Amino acid sequence: MPEIFINGQPVQAEANQTVLQAALANGFYIPYFCWHKELSIAGNCRICTVQVEGRSWVEISCNMPVTEGLHVLTDSDLVRAHRKATMQFITLNHPVDCGICDKAGECTLQDYHFAYNGSPSVSREPKVHATKFHDLSERILLDNERCILCSRCVRFTREISKSNALGIKNRGDVSLVRAADDSPLDADPYSDNVIDICPVGALLSKPFLHKARVWYLKPTPSVCPGCERGCSVNIWHRKAEWHLRALDPKQNTSIARVTPLENPAVNGPWICNKGRDLAQVFERARADHALQKGKPVALEAAIAAARKLIEEATHPVALVSNWGSNEELSAFKESLAGRFTTFVKRDHSPQPGERLEDDLLILADKNPNTAGARALFGEESLREPLYPADTDLVLVWGEGCNFATLPAGAKVVFLNSYLAPENGHADVFIPVSIQTERAGHYTNFAGVVSAFERCFAKPSTVADAQELFAAIAPGPAGTP
Residues that bind ligand FES (CB under 6 A): 32-35, 43-48, 60, 62
CA–CA dist 90, 443 (Å, integer): 45
Per CB under 6 A, 150 contacts ligand SF4: yes
Stretch of 47-55, 112-120, 221-229, 312-320 contacting ligand SF4, by CB under 6 A:
221-229
Spatial contact of 347 and 321, defined as CB atoms under 8 Å apart: yes
Is the Cα torsion angle 129, 133, 135, 137 positive or negative in sign? positive
Instruction: Please tell me the distance from the alpha carbon of residue 373 to that of residue 17, in angstroms, as a whole number.
Output: 42
CA distances from 228 to 275, 439, 445 (A): 12, 18, 6
Q: Are strands 134-135 and 140-142 parallel, antiparallel or unpaired?
A: antiparallel
* First-residue to last-residue Cα distance in the chain: 58
CB count within 10 Å of CB 424 equals 14
Interacting partner of 60 out of ligand SF4, ligand FES, none (Cβ under 5 to 8 A depending on kind): ligand FES
Shortest Å, Cβ 275 to ligand SF4: 3
For the CA atoms of 353, 357, 361, 363, the dihedral, rounded to the nearest 10 degrees, stands at 100
Q: Count the residues of the shown chain that bind ligand SF4, applying the rule CB under 6 A.
A: 26
What is the Cα–Cα distance from 42 to 165, expressed in whole angstroms?
18
Burial label, 479 (beta-carbon count in 10 A; 0-12, 13-18, 19+)? exposed
Binding partner of residue 148 among ligand FES, ligand SF4, none, CB cut-off 5 to 8 Å per kind: ligand SF4
Selected range binding ligand SF4 among 142-150, 210-218, 318-326, 435-443, rule: CB under 6 A: 142-150
* Nearer to ligand SF4 (CB atom), residue 78 or residue 449: 449
The binder of ligand SF4 chosen from 60, 66, 140, 271 (CB under 6 A): 271
Smallest gap from residue 67 Cβ to ligand FES (A): 18
DSSP letter assigned to residue 249:
G
Least distance between ligand SF4 and beta carbon 267 (Å): 6
Tell me the C-alpha distance between 59 and 472, whole Å: 69
Stretch that binds ligand SF4, among 15-23, 94-102, 147-155, 414-422 (CB under 6 A): 147-155
202 binds, among ligand FES, ligand SF4, none (CB under 5 to 8 A by kind): ligand SF4
Question: Which amino acid is present at 250?
Answer: K
Burial of 151 (0-12, 13-18, 19+ CB in 10 A): buried
Instruction: Please pick, from the candidates 11, 13, 47, 153, the single residue that binds ligand SF4 as defined by CB under 6 A.
Output: 153
Tell me how many degrees the CA angle 188-220-323 measures, rounded to the nearest 5.
70
Instruction: Choose the binding region for ligand SF4 from 148-156, 234-242, 288-296, 347-355 (rule: CB under 6 A).
Output: 148-156
CB of residue 73 to ligand FES, shortest distance in Å: 16
Residue 62 binding result from ligand SF4, ligand FES, none, given CB thresholds of 5 to 8 Å by partner type: ligand FES
What string marks each residue from 175 to 214 as x (binds ligand SF4 by CB under 6 A) or -? --x--------------------xxx-xx-----------
Nearer to ligand SF4, 198 or 287 (CB): 198
Which H/E stretch holds residue 371? helix 370-377
Task: State the burial class of residue 280 (Cβ atoms within 10 Å of its Cβ: 0-12, 13-18, 19+).
Answer: exposed
Shortest Cβ 30–ligand FES spacing (Å)? 8
Interface residue with ligand SF4 among 31, 219, 226, 480 (CB under 6 A) is: 226
Min dist CB 42 to ligand SF4, Å, is 9
Name residue 317's beta-bridge partners.
341, 394
Binding flag, residue 231, ligand SF4 (CB under 6 A): yes
User: CB 390: neighbour CB atoms within 10 A?
Assistant: 10
State the minimum distance, in angstroms, from the CB of residue 200 to ligand FES.
13
Task: Answer whether 439's CB lies under 8 Å from 453's CB.
Answer: yes
Q: Of 35 and 208, which CB lies nearer to ligand FES in the complex structure?
A: 35
Q: Which is nearer to ligand FES, 41 or 279 (CB)?
A: 41
**Which residue among 72, 73, 141, 361 contacts ligand SF4 (CB under 6 A)?**
361
In the complex, least distance from residue 219 CB atom to ligand SF4, rounded to whole angstroms: 15
CB nearer ligand FES, residue 23 or residue 396: 23
10 Å CB burial of residue 436 (0-12, 13-18, 19+) is buried
Q: Smallest gap, in angstroms, from Cβ of residue 394 to ligand FES?
A: 60
Decide which of ligand SF4, ligand FES, none touches 45; Cβ closer than 5 to 8 Å per partner kind.
ligand FES
Q: How far is the CB of 166 from ligand SF4 (least distance, A)?
A: 7
Exposure b/e, 286-301, CB count within 10 A at least 16 = b: bbebbbbeeeebebee
- Give least dist CB 149 to ligand SF4, A: 5
Q: Which residues bind ligand SF4 (CB under 6 A)?
A: 147-153, 177, 198-200, 202-203, 224, 226-227, 229-231, 267, 271-272, 274-275, 361-362
